[in-house]
Structure formats: structure tokens, C-alpha cells
């Protein structure tokens, strides 16, 4: 039997987003402040504050957005539940038409719709009419916790660079270590999700490097905290 990965999409999306944002936003903040000529303690303090604020923001954002998705799906399921109770014949014809459009003969489509609706009408309509399935069911708490945790882990990497690096080479060390971490993150995410590894790693590195370079340039140009 094939091993599919679609059931991982909920937590994997939140994990990749959290870790990537943690690395990029904190590294960009650190590099912008360093480019503005701040001392090491100020850089570290700003980075730590960014870690805490970012983790809380990611958790809240994920919870609210995924909860909105869950609410929308629930509302659509409630509509289907009422329609199935009030007009089952129409719902059967609707399912039959869906299967005809997917390539089944009309007689077979009608029989498939009949049997699936006899087994679990709401599940059949949720899956084939609305595109809602258990594998992609929104889980707000899981998404929030995953995003906050991975953001914190990601943000800790540039902060570790600040602690270890001399001020003279801080920007270069933070940039290099973070780009390596981002490439590794893209590769791992692609591996877990079954996508091409090199393409995913290159995509993450390119956009993240652009963000860090722009923030560093702003700090260097204006001499202010970015």
C-alpha cells in the first residue's frame, strides 16, 4: 500500500511557516540593528524581545486563521445536513452529476451516489462536493502550538550567533548560519512532504536571503533599528 503524506499538511505547514519566520524575522532584526551600530547587549535584547513577541503573534495568528477555516467548514456542513434532511432526492441528483463530470456513466454514477449516501451521506457530500476530508481537517490548537514552538526554535538560532560571535563579524556569522539553517529546513520540509528537496531548499534560501539583505541595508542606510 502506498504511503501518502497529505495527512501531514496541517502541522507541516504551521511548522515550516513558524520556523522559517522565526529564523528570518529574528535574523533580519538582529542584522538591521547591528548594521545601525548598536552594541551587542542591545542587539541581544531586541532579538530576545522579537522571539517572544513573534512566537505569541504566530500562535495567535495561526489559531485565529485556522479557527476561521474550521468555522467556515462547519457552516457548510450544517447547510448540507439541512439539505439532506429536507431534500434528499435533489442531493442524490447533485452527487450523481458530480460523478458524471468525473467520468462515470450516468447509471453507474447514480448507483455510486446511492450507495455512498446510504453509508454516510454527509461524509460523501463533504468529501466530493465541498472538498472537506479528515486528512485536511483544520486543527487550530495544533497549528498554534506547532507554529509558536517552531518559531521559538528558529529564532533561537540567530540569537545563538549573537551570543557566540564577536561584534565585528556578527552580521556575517548570523547571515551564514541562518542561511544554512534555512536550506536545511527547506530540505527537511520537502523530504517530509515528498517534494523535490533542492528546489525547496533553494526557494527558502533565496527569499530569506533577500529579506535579511534588505533589512541590513535599511539599518546601514539610516542608522536606526530596523
Q: What's the mean pLDDT in 47-55?
A: 93
- Cβ-in-10-Å burial (0-12, 13-18, 19+) of 148 comes to buried
Environment class of residue 145 by beta-carbon count within 10 Å: exposed (0-12), middle (13-18) or buried (19+)? middle
Q: Note whether 137 and 7 are within 8 A (CB).
A: no
Cut 0.75: pTM above it = no
Grid cell at residue 222: 539610516
- For residue 152, name the pLDDT band (cuts at 50, 70, 90): very high
Give whole-number Cα distances, 206 to 29, 91, 131, in Å. Answer: 18, 49, 33
Model confidence at 6, in pLDDT bands (50, 70, 90)? very low
Q: Does 18 or 13 have the greater pLDDT score?
A: 18
For every residue of 133-169, DSSP letters joined together read -GGG---HHHHHHHHHHHHHHHHHHHHHHHHHS-GGG
Domain boundaries of the chain, sorted by first residue: 6-68+139-222, 77-136
Q: Which of 23, 45, 22 is nearest to 33 (CA)?
A: 45
The span from the CA of 129 to the CA of 95, in Å, is: 7
Residue 64, pLDDT > 90, answer yes
Average pLDDT, whole number, for the chain?
84
Alpha helices in 36-169 (DSSP H): 40-86, 88-101, 106-128, 140-164
Choice among 33-47, 54-68, 186-200 with the minimum mean pLDDT: 186-200
For residues 57 and 107, give the distance between their C-alpha atoms in angstroms, rounded to a whole number: 53
Residue 223's pLDDT is: 57
Amino acid at each position: 500500500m502506498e504511503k501518502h503524506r497529505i495527512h501531514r499538511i496541517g502541522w507541516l505547514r504551521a511548522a515550516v511557516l513558524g520556523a522559517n519566520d522565526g529564523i528570518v524575522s529574528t535574523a533580519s532584526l538582529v542584522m538591521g540593528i547591528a548594521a545601525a551600530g548598536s552594541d551587542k547587549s542591545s542587539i541581544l535584547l531586541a532579538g530576545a524581545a522579537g522571539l517572544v513577541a513573534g512566537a505569541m503573534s504566530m500562535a495567535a495568528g495561526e489559531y485565529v486563521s485556522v479557527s476561521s477555516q474550521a468555522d467556515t467548514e462547519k457552516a457548510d456542513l450544517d447547510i448540507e445536513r439541512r439539505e439532506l434532511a429536507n431534500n434528499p432526492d435533489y442531493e442524490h441528483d447533485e452527487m450523481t452529476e458530480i460523478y458524471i463530470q468525473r467520468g462515470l456513466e450516468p447509471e453507474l454514477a447514480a448507483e455510486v451516489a446511492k450507495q455512498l449516501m446510504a453509508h454516510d451521506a454527509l461524509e460523501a457530500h463533504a468529501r466530493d462536493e465541498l472538498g472537506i476530508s479528515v486528512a485536511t481537517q483544520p486543527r487550530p490548537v495544533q497549528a498554534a502550538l506547532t507554529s509558536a514552538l517552531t518559531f521559538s526554535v528558529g529564532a533561537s538560532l540567530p540569537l545563538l550567533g549573537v551570543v557566540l560571535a564577536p561584534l565585528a563579524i556578527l552580521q556575517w556569522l548570523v547571515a551564514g548560519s541562518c542561511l544554512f539553517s534555512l536550506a536545511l529546513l527547506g530540505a527537511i520540509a520537502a523530504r517530509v512532504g515528498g517534494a523535490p528537496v533542492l528546489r525547496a531548499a533553494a526557494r527558502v534560501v533565496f527569499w530569506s536571503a533577500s529579506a535579511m539583505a534588505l533589512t541590513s541595508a535599511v539599518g546601514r542606510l539610516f542608522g536606526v533599528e530596523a
